[in-house]
Amino acid sequence: MSIQEITSQKAGDKYYKINHKSGLTIYVYPKAGYSSTYAIFGTKYGSINTTFKDEKGQLTTVPDGIAHYLEHKLFESEDGDAFLKYAKTGASANAYTSFDKTCYLFSCTERFKESMDILLDFVQSPYFTRETVAKEQGIIGQEIRMYDDAPSWRVLFNLLDKMYHNHPVKIDIAGTVESIAEITPEKLYTCYNGFYNLHNMALCVAGNTTVEEVLSIADEKLKDSPQQSMESFVVSEPDHVVSDYVEQKFAVAVPLFQLGFKETPTSQRMSVEKIAQSDILLFILASNSSPLYKELMDNELINGTFEYEHFEGPGYSSVFFGGESRNPKETAQHIRKAVDSLRQGGVSQADFETAKRAMYGDAISSLNRVDTIANMLIDFDFADREIFAYIDAIANTTIEQVNARLLEQLDSTKSTLSVILPLED
């Protein structure tokens, strides 16, 4: 076991990275004077990992939505429901499955050890039977139908479906009613045993705690894992989008839109330098202090729901702009025009300096929230990045790098507009 202290002169802060003897990577970010503690225990396994090779080289394909299904089922064990146990400690607990990871978390102000015991126990104790799996199919089926009826969810997945040809990021995280009907206890155990190996996981704790306290619990609760490799099958993804437009009608008062710009796919996760450049670039282009934002607001094309995002993961990278708009097509035209203009003229020095200061300030201030810290730690670990290196990357970014990133990342010829229209439009 090794313990590494990671410090930042710029942030004036430090945390610890522990390579535990069990195989688990543990991060502890003590925050003196804080009353709350936040812990997150996750695996590098999400909805896109449906086809994979085991150590013997055998290729396995499992039903869409099984990672999300597995997340639900882990809360049930032979000795009771984990949520009921958390209720007794007073901790607030939750879990989520994304495209590339599954995480289990809690926050508390007291009885930290008891809540940590619960977390480490139930995540390491799978219990699947035919009866419990069948019962969950009805529950998750209702959840899937609920999301199918959610306009904000459909506008996103309609966009992904028309941007990506082959990548499983286009598939709904929860799967379909038909796909989850194929899930069995045996398939759940196959995925659990492959991806819930501690060498593929991380535990991140931030707040009112110490390295010694976290390690004492980890030493007691963690089960040694033999190192193994589960290689997810990587599909070939074309550079271009499937279609530049998709629409669907829903019972909404105001149309919704998502405009996505597809970046050339790569098998490598982006460096902190690339992420910093993207963050600065998008602030320049679309923050509420940008000319584009003012233009869209002045023309009453957007409202306070407008947002933008760099959507990035294993084998995919895109930029999304979205929200409510009385005229989504005109809004998209304005955004594409702003992108084209910026590509031709480049980023101005004044805009670059403003954005760089803003992003640097956001990065530093994010270290004041224990939930943000812990979530950043696990996100960065799974992407082979480091928090303080990201802060340094923002400080060291040049205008030349941002202009180069602009040409890589935003190309109107590789964009798709997804629209949700009112039923009587």
Q: Are 259 and 335 in contact (CB under 8 A)?
A: yes
CATH of residue 90: 3.30.830.10
Q: Please write the tens of the pLDDT for every residue from 110-147.
A: 999 999 999 999 999 999 999 889 888 888 999 999 98
Mean pLDDT of 75-90: 89
**Residue 141 lies inside a defined structural domain of this protein:** yes
**Residue 240 lies inside a defined structural domain of this protein:** no
Instruction: Tell whether 255 and 228 lie within a shared domain.
Output: no
Domain final residue, candidates 232, 261, 276:
232
- Listed in sequence order, the DSSP H helices in 289-420 are 291-298, 328-345, 349-365, 370-382, 387-396, 399-409
Comparing CA positions, the residue from 375, 82, 91, 115 lying closest to residue 221 is 115
Instruction: Tell whether 105 and 6 lie within a shared domain.
Output: yes
**Residue 103 lies inside a defined structural domain of this protein:** yes
Show the domain range for 46: 2-232
Q: Please write the tens of the pLDDT for every residue from 197-242.
A: 999 999 999 999 999 999 999 999 998 888 877 778 778 899 999 9
CA 38 – CA 41 distance, rounded (Å): 10
Q: Please write the tens of the pLDDT for every residue from 249-302.
A: 999 999 999 999 999 988 789 999 999 999 999 999 999 999 999 999 999 999
CA 4 – CA 28 distance, rounded (Å): 10
The model's confidence at residue 55, banded by pLDDT at 50, 70 and 90, is low
Q: What is the mean pLDDT of the chain?
A: 94
- The predicted structure's pLDDT at residue 395: 97
Known catalytic membership, residue 71: yes
- The predicted structure's pLDDT at residue 135: 85
Spot the catalytic one: 71, 76, 263, 312: 71
Question: Any bridge partners for residue 194, and if so which?
Answer: none
Instruction: Tell whether 277 and 153 lie within a shared domain.
Output: no
In sequence order, the 6+-apart residues with CB closer than 8 A to the CB of 39 are 105, 106, 107, 115, 116, 119, 203, 204, 205, 206, 374
Q: How many domains does the chain have?
A: 2
CA 47 – CA 70 distance, rounded (Å): 11
Instruction: Tell whether 220 and 292 lie within a shared domain.
Output: no
- The predicted structure's pLDDT at residue 313: 94
The model's confidence at residue 23, banded by pLDDT at 50, 70 and 90, is very high
- The predicted structure's pLDDT at residue 53: 82
Comparing CA positions, the residue from 49, 48, 50, 28 lying closest to residue 39 is 28
**Residue 106 lies inside a defined structural domain of this protein:** yes
Region of poorest pLDDT, from 254-268, 323-337, 388-402: 254-268
- The predicted structure's pLDDT at residue 425: 52
